[in-house]
Amino acid sequence: MQFGIWGVGIAMWLVFVVTASEAFTSKDIYLAFASSTPLFALMAIPLTLIVITGEIDLSFPAVMALSTATFAKIYSGTGNIWLGFAGALIAGTLSGYFNGWLVTYFAIPSLVITIGTGFLFRGIELAWMNGSGVGLTDKELAGVSNLLVGRSFFGIANQFWWAVLATIILWFVLNRTQFGAHVFLTGDNKTSAQLMGVNVNQVKRRTFAIMGFFAAFAGLVASFEVSYFWPTLGEGLLMNSIASVFLGGTSVFGGIGTVTGTFVGSFIIGAINAGIVASGINAFYTQVFFGLVIILSVIMQAVISKKIKR
């Protein structure tokens, strides 16, 4: 599966190099990918853990906004940047844990409950901020802005390095810790996992909490990238994040997935739009390509899964 993902990425890149050589042989387009793709990759990577357990989260764009609103409110009230930063991460983590608690305690399908909590979190944020945005241009914010979205090594945006770090950390968690093993067991066979002593509900709640933490971080990154907090923050990133997970080889049936595959999948998704436009194809076909890539990825997963079972 992973060789297939990398193969799709390389093949697509070669096609774009041929059809849009001027754009795809220039370093500028790759610097642009490094600044834009991590805005949804930072959420797609932890979402992988949730999908592996057999669940889904559709509320994380709203968690992005609510967490960043928390930062804005704490900072404006106290003038303390790091207190606001911590408050945002805590708000995101608690929001994610709340999702996990609802899913496990009431045995409600996560697809349904996170649609509801998405509206809830977004509504709280809009009412709290009165539908207004906040500028992030104070001189005191320059340090944290440079840390999150500054251009450092070779002019590459820092959010790219944050996405790489998130991939490394969650790869280690998923593949080298007991918790990671429990994530796979939970998604593969919930009953067997319980018989082996795994607290399935706790595993799921923790994965949702991790998702909330990274959604909060991604919200801060996205806002500092444009030096402004928009009350609609996160809208438009949901489908890109989910598509990156499934394109990256994580099974829709649970029990199988890798964060490295999601990382690669994110950049494939990020490159499709630019590649289509640069190749001279009507931009409206972007959605068509997204749909075809996701459908083919899911079909490939289903075919491989059946062959393994045989």
**What is the pTM for the complete model shown?**
0.93
CA-CA-CA-CA torsion sign (91, 95, 100, 105): positive
Distance, CA of 43 to CA of 226 (rounded, Å): 18
- Give 307's pLDDT tier (boundaries 50, 70, 90): low
Residue type at 94 in one-letter notation: L
**pLDDT of residue 286 exceeding 80:** no
Q: Are 101 and 205 in contact (CB under 8 A)?
A: yes
Per-residue pLDDT tens over the stretch 201-244: 999 999 999 999 999 999 999 999 999 999 999 998 998 999 89
Domains and CATH numbers, the chain: 2-309 (1.10.3470)
Closest CA to 231 of 41, 36, 43, 68: 68
Per-residue pLDDT tens over the stretch 43-55: 999 999 999 999 9
Q: What is the pLDDT of residue 110?
A: 97
Distance, CA of 271 to CA of 10 (rounded, Å): 11
**pLDDT of residue 7 exceeding 90:** no
